[in-house]
Structure 1
Amino acid sequence: MMPMTTESPLDDVEFLARSEHRVAVLEALAESPRSRADLQDLTEASRSTIGRVLGAFEERRWITKDEYEYEVTPLGAFVASGMRELIERIETERKLRDVWQWLPSEASGFSIEMGSEAVVTDAEADDPYRPVNRFLSLLRETDRFRFVGFDVALLEPCKNELRRRILNGMHTEIIDPPNVAKYILSTYPDHCSPPLESDNLTVWLHDDLPSYGVSLFDERIGISCYNPANGTVQVLIDTDTAEAREWAEWTYETYRQEARPLALETPVE
């Protein structure tokens, strides 16, 4: 059988993308050889549909048949891997499409790939506190919390829970801009005193922090993005991937090394 000739690589991409059954069949065969009946059960496609898909794959030399089973060729495995990567990239893009402008830049070391398995919680007109509430849920599940960034819009509405968790033993480090620390201390002096007097809270000051916030919890890291136009947290992205964790740890430690401790006996300038 002569291989099918298409006008361009996009023709083959379109051929696969036009039907979810084609992608599913190719990915299934890339995992292990399967019979036609196996593929029908897996995809819930009709016998005739599976037959057409397999015939097209054979013409492209993506699969071969060994008695009653079909198996992928190296060419087919190569295509299946690339298609899966493309689908995953599009899934990530769709997840971040409406919030990408709020994310850290690539210059900070952040990459779009870090959002592939993230939970994205963005503010909505009828629920502007969705990111804050997501942050609170993560805060309640951690025993150690670290934060760096300019994000008073996140920390201020969470001040009661943050205070409670610190007094209950949560080890906390916060790197703030001096003006944010001054605002919090002057606005809520009685509220801040017990946590600062405990052994569980350390506050650092840094003059040049990013416009977003980076939170490190026990299991996850979070990126909170502030909307200066309306003074709210626009989006919170949290994930437990190793790559994102490494970036968050590096970001925090970079600013921590340049920060100075908050001195309560002297005014914050």
Structure 2
Amino acid sequence: MRRTLDEFNDRRWIDKDGYQYVATRLGEAIASGIEDLIERVETERKLRSVWQWLPDAISAFPFETWSDLTITVAEPDAPYRPVGRFESLLRETTTVRFLRPEVALMDLCFDLLYQLIAEGVEMRLIDRPECHRYFLSTYPNRSSEMIRQDHFTILEHDNLPSYGTGLLDDCVTISCYERDSGTVHALIDTDAPAVREWAESLYETHRADARRVELQKSAESVPHD
């Protein structure tokens, strides 16, 4: 420790003040730089495990935007941690717009989704046709009830990104899916304005080409529970 303090003193990074050392302006500059470096290393560490699933637009954002990302990763002892994080965000919103919500995420949240729609939360989902058919066949009664609500809209699109993008009141979520199993590997959420702007543009581009799903007749033909 003494050798380190002597080295800092030789470099004019610190001065001795009675029984303690205080940083000089040079020392404060170095300390600030070290703090920035530590923040970058910590951000890189949390992004490393999800980097391969990130949208190209997110990886192109400046570092300052990366540091605003909250990343929740599935672990062997907590495989549903990303779903739990998503549910906590859903409980705080009054609107949900979601591009590729995907069965692996929404199936585990179905009870909450049903409750939110009953409470008047406005929801618009754009997903693949096979995902809509899954929910209609798995939850015929509640799916039919949800479809009849004016504030619940289902659209379908055949060419969606490999990740999910959700727009809630106060944040954007990005769902990272395992390509082979379809499970939710991680959930990213952020209130960064740059990410919000990107997500709005992405959603609206796909919404313009999406088709409204005519599920009412199909729902009437599905056997009820």
How does the TM-score come out when normalised to structure 2? 0.80
Equivalent in 173, 187, 192 of residue 236 of structure 1: 187
| Residues 147-172 of structure 1, C-alpha deviations (whole Å, 9 max, x = no match) | 10152100111111011011101111
Deviations 1:26-78 (CA, angstroms, capped at 9, x unpaired): xxxxxxxxxxxxxxxxxxxx8985564243146xxxx99xxxx97647xx85x
- Distance, in Å, in 2 between the alignment partners of 1:112 and 1:183 is 39
Aligned ranges for residues 142-181 of structure 1 at < 5 Å? 142-149=93-100, 151-181=102-132
Distance 1:109 1:258, change over 3 A: farther
User: What CA RMSD, in Å, does the superposition of the two structures yield over aligned residues?
Assistant: 3.1
Cα drift, residue 81 of structure 1: 6.7
Which has the bigger relative contact order, CA under 8 A and spacing at least 6? 2
- Alignment-derived partner of residue 18 in structure 2: none
Is 2:88 aligned against 1:137?
yes
**Contact residue 150 and residue 209 of structure 1 kept, 8 A:** no
CA–CA separation in structure 2 for the residues paired with 1:183 and 1:267: 12
1:253 CA drift (Å): 1.4
| Separation of aligned partners in 2, 1:71 and 1:57 | 7
Q: Which runs of 5 or more residues in structure 1 are unaligned?
A: 1-45
Give 1:89 shift: 2.5
1:37-76 paired onto structure 2 within 5 Å: 52-57=7-12, 72=25
Q: Which amino acid aligns with 2:120?
A: G
Match of 1:125 among 68, 76, 83: 76
Matched-pair contact (CA < 8 Å) for 1:115–1:239: no
For residues 80 and 206 of structure 1, the distance between their equivalents in structure 2, rounded to whole angstroms, comes to 51
> What letter corresponds to residue 95 of structure 2 in structure 1?
R
Unaligned 5+ residue runs, structure 2?
16-21, 220-225
One of 194, 202, 212 as aligned partner of 1:251:
202
Give SS of 2:123's match.
strand
Separation in structure 2 between the aligned mates of residue 148 and residue 112 of structure 1, nearest angstrom: 24
- Give the TM-score, by structure 1 length: 0.68
Query: 2:147 touches 2:216 (CA, 8 Å); kept in 1?
Result: no
Work out the CA distance in 2 between the residues paired with 1:128 and 1:55.
52
Q: CA deviation at 1:110?
A: 5.6
Inter-partner Cα distance in structure 2 for 1:219 and 1:110: 22
Mapped partners of 1:54, 1:217: distance in 2: 52
Match of 1:220 in 2: 171
Q: Hey, what's the Cα distance between the residues in 2 that align with 1:91 and 1:218?
A: 28
Pair 70,116 (structure 1): closer, same or farther in 2 beyond 3 Å:
closer
- Residue identity in the other structure for 1:249: E
**Residues 201 and 97 (structure 1 numbering): CA distance in 2 closer, same or farther, change over 3 Å?**
same
Task: Tell me whether 1:198 sits opposite 2:154 in the alignment.
Answer: no
